Amino acid sequence: MNSTSPTGPGALRLIFPQWQGASGPATHQLHPGVDAHDTQLSFNLGPALLELMAPDHDGATAYVPVSTDTTDEALATVDGIYARDAVVRQLMEALKILRDAEPTSVVTFGGECSVSVAPFSHLASVYGDSLAVLWIDAHSDTGVPGDSYTGFRSMALATLAGEGDAGIIAELPALIPPANILQVGLRHWDSEGIAVKERLGIQTVGITSTPRDNRQVLEWIAGTGAQQLAIHIDLDVIDRRDFTGSVGQDTDGMRMSELVSLVSDAAAVADIVGLSLTEHIPMELVRLGGLLRDLPV
C-alpha cells in the first residue's frame, strides 16, 4: 500500500467552503481590528486558494453551495448549534453530492472542521469497519450541543462517532466507531469536549516529531485491522514557525515536515481514501479585500 493521496477513477475533489461552523463571537476575537463580516467569511476564502494551489487532479471536482448570509436570522443558534439551519442545509447538499457521485475516495478542501463530517461518513458507508480515521488537530472536536462554545466545528468528530445532535446524526449514512478514531497533535486539553472524548475512549497521540512517535500511529492502525484511512488535517495543528494562516498561534505545534512524514508513513500501511484540509484563514487577503471595497476600483 503506497497511495499517499486519494487518486484514480473513484477520486472526488470536494470544495466545501463552509464557515458557519465557527461560532461568530469567538472567531471575531481571534482577529481584532478586522471587520466582523470579513472575519466570519474568512474560512470561506481558504478552500478556493487550496484548490488554486493544489496539483492537477484527474478526477471529478464538486462544489458544495455555501451561503454567505451573515444576518442574525441566518446565524441564529438553534438547539445549541450556531447557524444550525445553514450547517444542516449545507451538510445535506454535501451528502447529496457524495450519494450521486459514489466516490471511493475523497479529497476535501474545506472551511472549518465540520466539512469532514459528510465525506468521512460517506467513506464509512463504503468501507465499514475497514476504515480508520486519523484526526490531526490541535483541538479535540468532540464537543456537543449544550457546551459553551456553539460552533459545529467543535462537534465534528463527536458527530461522526454518533454523539451529539440526534437530528444531524440520523441523516448520516454511517458512523465511525470510536475505536477506529485516533487523534493526533491534540494540545488544547481545556475544551469541554475532552470529557466526551475520554468517555468514548478515543485514543490520542501527541505531536509526532520522531520516527518513534510515528510508529505509535502505525501500531494503532495495525491494531484496528483497518485497510483504509481517512485523514483530517486542521491546519491549526501546524507550528506557527512554519505556517501562520490558521488560528494556531503557538510554537509547540507539528512542523510541516513532520506532518508530511506522518502521512507518508501511514500510506505505507493503509490506503488513504479520504483527506481533508481545513481551517485555512488567509487574513492578509481578507484585509486586502476590505481595502478593495474602500477604493474606487
Name the pLDDT band for 177 (thresholds 50, 70, 90): very high
Share of the chain above pLDDT 90, in %: 65
Residue 183's identity, in one-letter code, is Q
pLDDT digits (tens, 9 = 90+) for 65-82: 999 998 999 999 999 999
Domain that holds residue 206: 11-294
State the pTM of this model: 0.92
Percent pLDDT > 70 in the chain is 88
In a domain, 223, yes or no: yes
C-alpha cell at 174: 454511517
User: Which residue blocks in the chain are alpha helix, DSSP H?
Assistant: 24-30, 36-40, 42-53, 84-101, 117-127, 156-160, 166-171, 193-200, 211-224, 256-267, 283-294
Out of 68-82, 202-216, 227-241, pick the least confident: 202-216
2 part of a folded domain: no
The pLDDT, as a whole number, for residue 1 is: 44
Number of domains in the chain: 1
Q: What's the average model confidence in pLDDT over 168-184? A: 98
Position 31 confidence tier, pLDDT thresholds 50, 70, 90: low
| Predicted pLDDT at 292 | 79
Residue 4 inside a domain? The answer is: no
pLDDT category at 239 given cuts 50, 70, 90 is: confident
**Does residue 156 form part of some domain?**
yes
Q: Is residue 281 a contact partner of residue 46, using CB atoms and an 8 Å limit?
A: yes
- Whether 210 is in a domain gets the answer yes
Neighbours of 260 (CB within 10 A): 11
Position 111 in a domain: yes
Cα separation, 226 vs 244, in Å, equals 34
Instruction: Give the model's pLDDT for residue 45.
Output: 85
Pick the residue with more confidence: 183 or 250? 183
Mean pLDDT, rounded, of the chain: 89
Residue 6 placed within a domain = no
Does residue 3 lie within any of the structural domains?
no
Tell me the CATH number at 157: 3.40.800.10
Residue 123: band (very low, low, confident or very high) from pLDDT cuts 50, 70, 90: very high
CA-to-CA distance for 152 and 78, rounded, in angstroms? 11
pLDDT at position 76: 95
How far apart CA 25 and CA 82 sit, in angstroms, is: 10
**Would you state the pLDDT for residue 30?**
56
Position 58 pLDDT exceeds 90: no
Q: Which range (90-104, 141-155, 234-248) has the least confidence?
A: 234-248
Q: Which of 15-19, 149-153, 292-296 has the lowest mean pLDDT?
A: 292-296
